[in-house]
């Protein structure tokens, strides 16, 4: 194996003699195409096989991945083995899971975010960036007074400093609107309501929310109370966009010049029969999207109103 013009065994040997190990970090492999992901894992397997045949040589790979996606990728590549029991192990549902079991020697499962940590994360991510420390200007050297004139000492009463204008209490949290208690608490609650919450998903929701908020804030100014209501509704819009990406096309499909799929689902969310008819009309596969539809229906029941639907029509 060649590594930058050098045999990898020699490189690892040099590291070992110096008291080090070779550690290779691989991230976001689940974003690759199925064939690419399979090639990476095959290369890792071959690499480690070559290293372990040499006594005293050690190397480690730390791979960050979504195992469900990678297993599906490997199943896609090794589809011919799908019906073979030999390709599986124990309770592994497919060859892809069996491949991961054999290759991954120390699986580390990231824990879900507890609800208290969601609020802490929102506070940290929405906090204003620290201002750079200002460097005081260097004072110019004093200019000596001309010898022909005596220095004059000025005396007098110094004027008292003018106090800053009072700022209404309700405007203080608005330095960034996401720091407003009504907005930040809703963000934390909606993130906590997601069954598979993660910091990556939380960041995606906040990114989308901030985009929509900045976009609308650049238009005609609105009264403070209306701005807060709009910001809260945009949290729900951002959740609908980021939590259920596979449903976006039917949700925003025009049913007539004034109504879209989301309008129909919001109207029928309270009645089982009407909801089922609406889902069928939009062409959403209930078997495929059962969990997504249940979560969306609960959100519409708890939070949807005319202002939320108006915002979605304005944005999409």
- Check pLDDT > 70 for residue 271: yes
3-state secondary structure of 159: coil
- Check pLDDT > 90 for residue 297: yes
Q: Can you tell me the mean pLDDT for 208-227?
A: 90
- Check pLDDT > 90 for residue 130: no
303's enclosing H/E stretch is helix 290-303
- Check pLDDT > 90 for residue 314: no
Cβ-based neighbours of 296, under 8 Å, separated by 6 or more: 240, 244, 247, 265
**Average pLDDT score over the chain:** 80
Which range has highest mean pLDDT (8-12, 32-36, 76-80, 272-276)?
A: 272-276
Q: Can you tell me the mean pLDDT for 237-250?
A: 92
Tally of CB atoms within 10 A around 209? 24
Domain ranges of the chain: 2-103, 112-126+174-243, 245-316
What span, in angstroms and rounded, lies between the C-alpha atoms of 2 and 44? 14
Q: Can you tell me the mean pLDDT for 287-297?
A: 93
Instruction: Evaluate whether 70 touches 37 at the Cβ level (below 8 Å).
Output: yes
Diameter over CA atoms, the chain: 108
Handedness of CA 103, 108, 112, 118 (dihedral sign): negative
Cα 156 off chain centre by = 61
Beta strands in 14-58 (DSSP E): 22-26
């Amino acid at each position: 194996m060649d590594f930058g013009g050098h045999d990898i065994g020699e490189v690892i040997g040099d590291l070992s003699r110096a008291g080090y190990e070779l550690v290779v970090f691989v991230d976001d492999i689940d974003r690759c195409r199925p064939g690419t992901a399979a090639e990476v894992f095959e290369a890792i397997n071959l690499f480690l096989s070559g290293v372990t045949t040499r006594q005293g040589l050690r190397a480690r790979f730390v791979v960050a991945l979504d195992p469900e996606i990678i297993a599906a990728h490997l199943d896609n590549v090794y589809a011919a083995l799908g019906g073979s029991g030999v390709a599986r192990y124990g309770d592994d549902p497919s060859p892809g899971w069996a491949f991961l079991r054999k290759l991954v020697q120390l699986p580390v499962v990231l824990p879900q975010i507890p609800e208290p940590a969601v609020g802490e994360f929102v506070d940290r991510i929405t906090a204003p960036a620290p201002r750079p420390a200002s460097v005081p200007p260097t004072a110019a050297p004093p200019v000596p007074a001309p010898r022909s004139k005596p220095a004059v000492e000025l005396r007098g009463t110094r004027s008292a400093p003018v106090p800053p204008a009072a700022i209404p209490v309700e405007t203080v949290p608005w330095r960034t609107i996401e720091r407003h208690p009504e907005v930040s608490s809703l963000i934390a609650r909606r993130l906590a309501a997601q069954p598979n919450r993660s910091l990556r998903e939380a960041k995606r929701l906040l990114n989308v929310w901030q985009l929509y908020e900045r976009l609308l804030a650049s238009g005609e100014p609105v009264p403070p109370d209306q701005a807060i209501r709009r910001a809260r509704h945009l949290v729900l819009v951002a959740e609908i966009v980021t939590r259920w990406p596979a449903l976006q096309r039917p949700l925003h499909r025009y049913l007539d010049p004034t109504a879209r799929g989301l309008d129909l689902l919001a109207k029928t969310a309270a009645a089982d029969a009407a909801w089922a008819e609406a889902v069928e009309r939009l062409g959403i596969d209930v078997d495929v999207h059962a969990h997504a539809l249940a979560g969306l229906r609960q959100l519409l029941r708890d939070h949807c109103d005319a202002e939320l639907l108006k915002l979605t029509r304005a944005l999409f």
